[in-house]
Amino acid sequence: MPKFNTKEEYERWKAQRLEDIKSRSNNTSEHAKKDEYQLKTDSMDGLSSSSFRKNIGKIIVVSLIFLVGILFYSLLSKDRKQDDTLIPKSQAEPDSIRKSADTVANTKEPASLSQPAAPKSWADIIQQAKKSVVFIKTPNSMGSGFVISPDGIIVTNSHVIRDITEVEIIFNSNASKKASIVKRGTIPLDIAILKVAGDNFEYLTLADSNYCKEGEEVMAIGAPYSLSGTVTKGIISNCNRRLKDEFQDIAYIQTDTPISPGNSGGPLINKNGEVIGMLTWKIVKKGFEGLNFAIASNVINSFKDGRLNKVEESAKKVYEEKSKIISNRIDRLDLIWMNEYSAYYNKVAGMVARGAISVDYGTQLLSRATAAPVGFTSVSEWLAFLADSVLKEEITENQAHALIKSSFAL
In tens, the pLDDT along 253-270 reads 999 999 998 999 999 999
CA atoms within 13 A on the CB side of 258: 6
- Confidence check: pLDDT of 199 > 70: yes
Q: Which of 14-18, 25-29, 172-176, 378-382 has the lowest mean pLDDT?
A: 25-29
pLDDT at res. 300: 95
Average pLDDT value for residue range 384-388 = 84
- Work out how many domains the chain is built from and give that number: 3
- Confidence check: pLDDT of 211 > 90: yes
Residue 101 lies in a domain: no
Q: Which of 133-147, 184-198, 235-249, 358-372 has the lowest mean pLDDT?
A: 235-249
Residue 37 lies in a domain: yes
Do 148 and 208 have their domain in common?
A: yes
Q: How confident is the model at residue 70 (pLDDT cuts 50, 70, 90)?
A: low
Do 145 and 190 have their domain in common?
A: yes
Q: How confident is the model at residue 39 (pLDDT cuts 50, 70, 90)?
A: very low
Per the prediction, the chain carries an average pLDDT of 79
State how far the alpha carbon of 209 is from the alpha carbons of 40, 205, 267, 294, in Å.
106, 12, 13, 11
How many Å apart are CA 353 and CA 233, to the nearest integer? Answer: 51
pLDDT at res. 91: 41
Do 85 and 229 have their domain in common?
A: no
Residue 175 lies in a domain: yes
Average pLDDT value for residue range 116-126 = 78
pLDDT at res. 60: 64
Identify whether the C-beta of residue 192 lies closer than 8 Å to the C-beta of residue 155: yes
pLDDT at res. 165: 87
Do 290 and 325 have their domain in common?
A: no
Do 258 and 159 have their domain in common?
A: yes
Range among 24-28, 86-90, 300-304, 332-336 with highest mean pLDDT value? 300-304
pLDDT at res. 227: 92
Do 159 and 74 have their domain in common?
A: no
Average pLDDT value for residue range 60-66 = 62
Residue 111 lies in a domain: no
Do 274 and 393 have their domain in common?
A: no
- Listed residue (191, 163, 143, 165) closest to 323, CA to CA: 163
Q: Residues 270-290, buried b or exposed e (16+ Cβ, 10 A)?
A: bbebbbbbbbbbbbbeeeeee
pLDDT at res. 86: 36
Average pLDDT value for residue range 160-174 = 91
Do 273 and 339 have their domain in common?
A: no
- Confidence check: pLDDT of 17 > 60: yes
How many Å apart are CA 301 and CA 210, to the nearest integer? Answer: 12
CATH of the domain at 239: 2.40.10.120
- Confidence check: pLDDT of 83 > 90: no
Do 138 and 150 have their domain in common?
A: yes
Residue with the bigger pLDDT between 205 and 189: it is 205
Average pLDDT value for residue range 123-138 = 95
Q: How confident is the model at residue 67 (pLDDT cuts 50, 70, 90)?
A: low
End position of a domain, from candidates 42, 76, 93: 93
Residue 115 lies in a domain: no
Do 175 and 251 have their domain in common?
A: yes
DSSP designation for 203: -
Average pLDDT value for residue range 165-181 = 94
**Domain ranges, residue 361:** 310-406
Alpha helical stretches, state H, 85-153: 95-98, 101-104, 122-129
Q: By percentage, how much of the chain surpasses pLDDT 70? A: 71
Q: How confident is the model at residue 188 (pLDDT cuts 50, 70, 90)?
A: confident
- Confidence check: pLDDT of 120 > 60: yes
Residue with the bigger pLDDT between 157 and 320: it is 157
pLDDT at res. 220: 97
pLDDT at res. 87: 36
Residue 110 lies in a domain: no
- Listed residue (252, 326, 254, 325) closest to 288, CA to CA: 254
Q: Which of 24-28, 99-103, 360-364, 380-384 has the lowest mean pLDDT?
A: 99-103
pLDDT at res. 284: 78
Do 244 and 289 have their domain in common?
A: yes
- Confidence check: pLDDT of 71 > 70: no
End position of a domain, from candidates 55, 75, 93: 93
Q: How confident is the model at residue 82 (pLDDT cuts 50, 70, 90)?
A: very low
Residue 335 lies in a domain: yes
Do 266 and 369 have their domain in common?
A: no
Residue 109 lies in a domain: no
- Confidence check: pLDDT of 92 > 50: no
